[in-house]
Chain A
Amino acid sequence: MPVRLKSIFFVTICCTLLFFGQRLLFATEAPLKIVTTQTLFADIVKQIGKDRVEVKYIAQPKFNVHFIQPKPSDVRNVAKADLYVNAGLDLEAWSDPLLEAAGKPELFRGAGRNLDLSKGVTILNVPTQPISRSQGDIHMFGNPHYNMNPENAKIMAETILEKLKEIDSKNASYYEENAKAFVSRIEEKIGEWKRLCGFCKGQEIISYHDDIVYFADFLGLKAEQFIEPKPGIPPTPKHLEFLEGYVKANNIKAIVMPTYYPKDAAEKLSQRVGAKVITICQNVGEIPGTEDTFSFFDYNFKQISDALK
């Protein structure tokens, strides 16, 4: 080989080694791509994964999570995801069709990269009798709104931690440290919220939909009557008349509902009986000032405490 050609060959080899070498030496680890169905889940994942995860969510918090219409951009995000975090049970009826559209079998319900956060949570109101559509929109696996109890946020954090450690074992200690900080902070806040709302125990509230059972359970509230006569069925004049008598007879001070249900019926009832209509958010970011798990619960407990005083 002539000297000139040898030199060109040598320089080419050096440049190639330099190019790939620097990529290997300075390569930054790509964060895990995680898609969650709800914003509360997204926040907990973010608090545990921090800069090692890139989190996107499907359901805008201002909409009813039962009935989201996923967009093509959601399908694309799911198709690129390493992990799909969801509520499980039968809350997000749109979730399975979304996963099918994304076409990634490892994210399908029951597969390794599909994280069902209901795992480990004690589910309330599990039907013990056969159910039918005549009872309204009954959840056949029990009430799926478990995200409303901060005690369950601890369980969800543990479930997320275990999955992150499993799929990204290199960063296990990093995730453990962050999860520990999250759980420790939420335990501290739970004490604060219990103190703030301790006096509410035993009081009764009216809710628009049966999505408050875990919140009520946490505070020891009673929530047995709803603006909806049956789950998913809008209020009728006859039902509102019944509620009017019920609220008066039981001296109920608060009617609670998230932002996305129509307020007319609750306000009409409020005018007749004097009970206050308050917003109890169902997810992080539903209204300004509820941008993370802590401010979300802060807002809800402050609202109920102010209303029941």
Chain B
Amino acid sequence: MLPVHRDSIDTVDEPLVVQRYFGDEGMSKSGVDLTNILDLPLPSVHQLTIGVLEGGNGEEGTAFGSATRRPTLYGHLKNYFDITDSTNFELGLSDALGSNDNDVSFKTNVLGLDATLRHIISPNQDVKLQGETFYLDRREAEPTIGTTDPTGNFWGGYGLFDFRLSSLWGTGLRFDYVEPIDRLLTDPNKAEIGYTGYLTFYQSEFARWRVQVSHIDKTTGENDNRVFLQGTFAIGDHKHKLQ
């Protein structure tokens, strides 16, 4: 899973797969983790993180059950490569193991793969290509078809293209694909597909405006069209440039 600060993501909302599986704002749960950069005789950097979170999902997430007392274990291996001074590539592998109801531990396994290629054209221009995919293997103690908590395998992912045009402007596109966990309630052959475009105006180092348009084809056959306008401000002594 790409661990990003909420104000650092390139779009107004989280990718659809993150919203559907982990929650509208991602997996916002209390927990503890250990991170270590592996000391390997390689020019690339490899960082391993292992951790434990309280059980359950973020708000509206469906990957795990709702019992907070059954923890979720996770691990992430980040592999980073400086291709040139201006180009770098990051490849991540992750796994999360958690409960999907009150009676069963570690029966939902989420495998993740993420990749980011970034090229810096000039101090005020860069291009980023990012993709992330999740594969869920969900096992119930007593599977019940037609409930909102079925057994099965599901997957989803997104692809993002972000282009910082200048110090003031940036734009990008995101494509989403996700197989909802409750799809048996609708059409099992369908997945939600989303198309998102955005334009960002960086008013100053500490103020940013973003307009985003999203179109989602839902499994129910309905469409969801959304327009967002987002303003982000950094205030106070803690200086943190808006990227």
Which chain A residues have a beta carbon within 8 Å of chain B's beta carbons? 60, 62-64, 66-67, 69, 71-73, 75-76, 79, 90, 93, 133, 137, 140, 232-234, 259-262
Our pick among A60, A76, A234 for the contact of B167 (Cβ within 8 Å) is A234
Near A by CB (< 8 A), chain B positions 11-43 give 37
Closest residue of chain B to A139 (Cβ to Cβ) is: B239
CA distance A247 to B78 in the complex (A): 52
> A75-B45, A262-B167 provided; 10 other pairs, C-beta below 8 A?
A62-B123, A66-B205, A76-B37, A76-B45, A93-B240, A133-B236, A137-B205, A140-B237, A232-B204, A262-B168
Are A71 and B243 in contact (CB-based, < 8 A)?
no
Are A137 and B206 in contact (CB-based, < 8 A)?
yes
A137-B205, A262-B166 as given contacts; A67 in contact with B241, CB under 8 Å? yes
Near A by CB (< 8 A), chain B positions 182-200 give none
B48 → chain A closest CB, angstroms: 12
Interface string of B166-177 (1 = CB under 8 A from A): 111000000000
A133-B206, A234-B204 as given contacts; A72 in contact with B80, CB under 8 Å? yes
Q: Which of B123, B168, B206: most chain A Cβ within 10 A? A: B123
A87 → chain B closest CB, angstroms: 14
Our pick among A62, A75, A259 for the contact of B37 (Cβ within 8 Å) is A75
Which chain B residues have a beta carbon within 8 Å of chain A's beta carbons? 37, 45, 47, 78, 80, 82, 85, 88, 90, 122-124, 166-168, 203-206, 235-237, 239-241, 243
Chain B residues whose C-beta falls within 8 Å of the C-beta of A133 in the assembled complex: 206, 235-236
Are A93 and B204 in contact (CB-based, < 8 A)?
no
Closest residue of chain B to A262 (Cβ to Cβ) is: B167
Chain A residues whose C-beta falls within 8 Å of the C-beta of B37 in the assembled complex: 72, 75-76, 79
Chain A residues whose C-beta falls within 8 Å of the C-beta of B90 in the assembled complex: 72
CA distance A64 to B123 in the complex (A): 8
Chain B residues whose C-beta falls within 8 Å of the C-beta of A63 in the assembled complex: 123
Chain B residues whose C-beta falls within 8 Å of the C-beta of A79 in the assembled complex: 37
Our pick among A64, A137, A233 for the contact of B239 (Cβ within 8 Å) is A137
B76 → chain A closest CB, angstroms: 13
Our pick among B47, B85, B243 for the contact of A60 (Cβ within 8 Å) is B85
Are B204 and A72 in contact (CB-based, < 8 A)?
no
Chain B residues whose C-beta falls within 8 Å of the C-beta of A90 in the assembled complex: 239
A54 → chain B closest CB, angstroms: 15
Are B82 and A73 in contact (CB-based, < 8 A)?
yes
Are B88 and A233 in contact (CB-based, < 8 A)?
no
Q: Which of B124, B205, B237: most chain A Cβ within 10 A? A: B205
CA distance A139 to B236 in the complex (A): 13
Chain A residues whose C-beta falls within 8 Å of the C-beta of B47 in the assembled complex: 72
CA distance A79 to B243 in the complex (A): 25
B117 → chain A closest CB, angstroms: 14
Interchain residue pairs with CB less than 8 A apart (29): A62-B122, A63-B123, A64-B123, A66-B241, A71-B80, A71-B82, A72-B37, A72-B78, A72-B80, A75-B37, A75-B45, A79-B37, A90-B239, A93-B240, A93-B241, A133-B206, A133-B236, A137-B206, A137-B239, A140-B237, A232-B206, A233-B204, A233-B205, A234-B167, A234-B168, A234-B204, A259-B123, A260-B123, A260-B124
CA distance A239 to B240 in the complex (A): 25
Chain B residues whose C-beta falls within 8 Å of the C-beta of A76 in the assembled complex: 37, 45
CA distance A304 to B237 in the complex (A): 35
CA distance A63 to B120 in the complex (A): 11
Chain B residues whose C-beta falls within 8 Å of the C-beta of A75 in the assembled complex: 37, 45
CA distance A67 to B88 in the complex (A): 18
Closest residue of chain A to B86 (Cβ to Cβ) is: A60
CA distance A31 to B139 in the complex (A): 55
CA distance A17 to B113 in the complex (A): 51
CA distance A175 to B219 in the complex (A): 71
Chain B residues whose C-beta falls within 8 Å of the C-beta of A67 in the assembled complex: 205, 241
